[in-house]
Amino acid sequence: MNNITDQFYSFPAPAKLNLFLHIIGQRSDGYHQLQTIFQFLDHSDTIDIKLTEGLNIELLTPIEGVLNEDNLIVRAAQLLQNYIIENKIINVSPNDQQQKLGAQIKITKILPMGGGLGGGSSNAATILLALNVLWGANLSLHKLSELGLSLGADVPIFIHGFSAFAEGVGEELTAVSPKESWFLVSKPDVSISTASVFTDPQLTRNTAKVNLSDDITKLDIDLCHNDCQTLVIKRYPEVAKLLAWLVEYAPSRMTGTGACIFSRFDTEQEACRIQSLLPDGIMSFVAKGVNISPLRNVMNNLVTLQK
């Protein structure tokens, strides 16, 4: 089949930040039209995958409170597997004991759930990219993004793996290169449902559109905002309190629908110093903003191994 052996292969599933998030409208199907800039962090979940005979997708490390069949990791693997079989990308024979189109998967999860860092979408994208190579399907990034979009609006950015100005529901991407700052990412002890934010009648949905004909590289992110933040700090006093504390030290803003807040610094040392001052009970980490996903090099090395 290829040079892939029976070992586990390890892949990062990085966090992302929404450096800003404008909601410019709502479509008739209920989805929101967005404008945002995505940037990756060098802080990742880790996903380990081993190929198995047959078609069984087995998640060896279930996530507490999430049924396996609802987990985006399993759903992404099954989605890709079904596409491969239905479109005869790989001929699967019940009698072919050499064909490995199943997988055992383990995840070491460090990205918080309900934080706005895109952890679930990143997990799904890593699965699609990794199994596409491990299974030998060799689908294009465009096709993987199409499949991934059915799992979540943020999945395509993780598949393409570059920082981007995004429009539509988040899938129309234009590459950009924002400054690769150091970030303190902090989260109060609360998880926020993305669906609850986007269905709230008080959510702002008419922010003026940033014109793509403008030079996006000159866009002053500090003059932008996160439309979800105004609503969330009304609904979640824990987020409001932490944000008020952080802005005394550095430019700080909520990412996505929260509850994580990122604070921007020029040096790792300064980010760590403010981290040491955080109030008790606040989850936090310090990470570098990066414009190329940490997954990119791993995938390039895997493709080389397969040849």
Peptide bond into 259 cis (omega under 30): yes
The two most distant CA atoms of the chain are separated, in Å, by 66
Q: Which of 16, 50, 100, 143 is catalytic?
A: 16
**Chain centroid to CA 208:** 26
Q: How many CB atoms lie within 10 A of CB 267?
A: 10
Structural element, H or E, at residue 269: helix 268-275
Is 16 one of the annotated active-site residues of the chain?
A: yes
Catalytic status, residue 154 = yes
Between helix 72-86 and helix 119-134 the angle, nearest 10°, is: 40
Q: How far apart are CA 299 and CA 302, in angstroms?
A: 5
Give ∠ CA 158-156-254 in degrees, rounded to 5.
65
Q: Which residue among 45, 50, 100, 154 is the active-site one?
A: 154
Active site residues: 16, 154
